[in-house]
Amino acid sequence: MKQDLIHLLHKYDVALPRYTSYPTVPYWSFDSLTIQRWEAEVRHRFEAENQEVCLYIHLPFCEELCTYCACNKRITKNHAVEVPYLESVLKEWAMYKKVLDKMPVIKEIHLGGGTPTFFSPQNLHSLIQGILEGSQIAENHEFSIEVHPNYTTEQHLKVLAEVGFNRISLGVQDFDSQVQYIINRPQTFEQTKAVVQWARELGYESINIDLVYGLPKQTLQSIEFTIEKIKDLAPDRIAFYSYAHVPWKSKGQRRYTDEDVPAANEKIAMYSLGNQLLTAQGFVAIGMDHFAMPSDKLLKAYQEKKLHRNFMGYTTTNHKLVIGLGSSSISDTWTAFAQNEKTVEAYQSQIQQGQPPIVHGHLLSKQDLIIRQHILDLMCIDSTTFDPANFDVDFLASIKNKLTFLEADELLTLDGNTVNISPKGRLLVRHICAAFDAYLYRSKQSDQLFSKAI
């Protein structure tokens, strides 16, 4: 790797938000949002979206701890937890249906975790039947599930296909045995291939595979080995994420030390190699961490500048009402965010008392909405145009100074007030987004809130 590029990477290897939302969660002000106001925002957006709803359902249980994972999860082998938890989710959905007061049209369902296939096929089937009861399925719906191949059976995929599921995302991360050992995720290629084959045979329209670069003990050789294996699976999409090292937040990451984690220059070399190998297989890079085959809807949305991004990642569905069900789930009405109780016990207790389990949230200001759109445009279409009148003098000066600084390193070009991200800048898009972040500008603190940008 060229010395000037190595210098550039060290220069930008700082802690920054991932911008799955704006404002980012640490800067939310729950004081701005009452339950009554939240319900009013939900109703308003429901009407504006012609009664279409996207649902994210968080299923937090896992039998084993994957040490790299910073998601909200509960480790247990006790499957007696399944039914009480799903009953709570359905009760929460019933609360929302009372707020909506009209028949919902379900555009998306996404089952995330945790390990959603920790739950039995029959229990997952019952959950979805309960969700769909009294609802209508949108014509071009997308129902998807995240799966861990070690805990997924053909029956899981079969019963979900029967209730409309047509997308599946498989967690792989890395096939190298040394990497799998340190992240406590042993997973054979054969197990993974079997799940892919079942999905194809059952008519799933889109198969995504999650890979992670920058994992402890990972090398260029393990990246090459893994992506070569991926070729045999022929997925439609690849999510190629940067590992977020946040041991102060995720205790499982304390199994290894900082010395086990690749340095910034090593991580960028891993991404560059992965990009090269995936491109050679026919994938096209999208946004900052996704790849899609030419036949996939995600690439078409990107090319038509219709790509959207939310808490679930990049999506072709540009709907502005996402209702999150389950512990720690986040809901989004575009004008407001709300997050549920994080622990299973607290979540279920609130539901049993007939109370909305929301404990955190934020009502977006006019400037929040403007900046949110700029950040989405940068992440989804590689460009944005800003109106100087929307920012006070000092903040505008800060934005322009940061953009000029980034332009000097050829990460973007400035044409008046239009920002266009360069190919080099796509890997550092979080830095470009951060130039517009009013909360980061005011706080000037991020080291113990966010992971490193590289």
Residue numbering of the annotated binding site for S-adenosyl-L-methionine: 56, 68-70, 113-115, 146, 173, 185, 210, 244, 330
Determine the Cα angle at 450 with ends 30 and 343, to 5°. 55
Q: What is the b/e burial string over 298-331, where b = at least 16 CB atoms within 10 angstroms of the residue's CB?
A: bbebbeeeebbbbbbbbbbbebebbbbbbbbbbb
Q: What are phi and psi of 139, to 5 degrees?
A: -60, -50
Retrieve residue 324's tokens: 């999150």
| Helical segments of 234-329, H only | 264-280, 297-303
Between strands 136-147 and 167-173, the pairing is parallel
Four-CA torsion 88, 94, 95, 96, nearest 10 degrees:
120
- Bind-site residues: 56, 62, 66, 68-70, 113-115, 146, 173, 185, 210, 244, 330
Retrieve residue 350's tokens: 């609130």
DSSP state string for 38-101:
HHHHHHHHHHHTTTEEEEEEEE-EESS--TT--S--EE---GGGHHHHHHHHHHHHHHHHHHH-
Determine the Cα angle at 108 with ends 102 and 114, to 5°. 120
Distance, in Å, from the CA atom of 350 to the CA atom of 257, rounded to the nearest integer, reads 38
Distance, in Å, from the CA atom of 252 to the CA atom of 246, rounded to the nearest integer, reads 10
* Nearest residue to 109 via CA among 54, 161, 42, 158: 54
Distance, in Å, from the CA atom of 203 to the CA atom of 287, rounded to the nearest integer, reads 28
Strand boundaries in 148-287, DSSP class E: 167-173, 206-213, 237-242, 284-286
Q: What sign for the dihedral angle of Cα 249, 255, 258, 262? A: negative
Number of Cβ within 10 Å of residue 142's Cβ equals: 20
The strand pairing partners of 146, in sequence order, are 169
- Bind-site residues for [4Fe-4S] cluster: 62, 66, 69
CA distances from 417 to 59, 279, 411 (A): 43, 32, 16
Retrieve residue 267's tokens: 């991580």
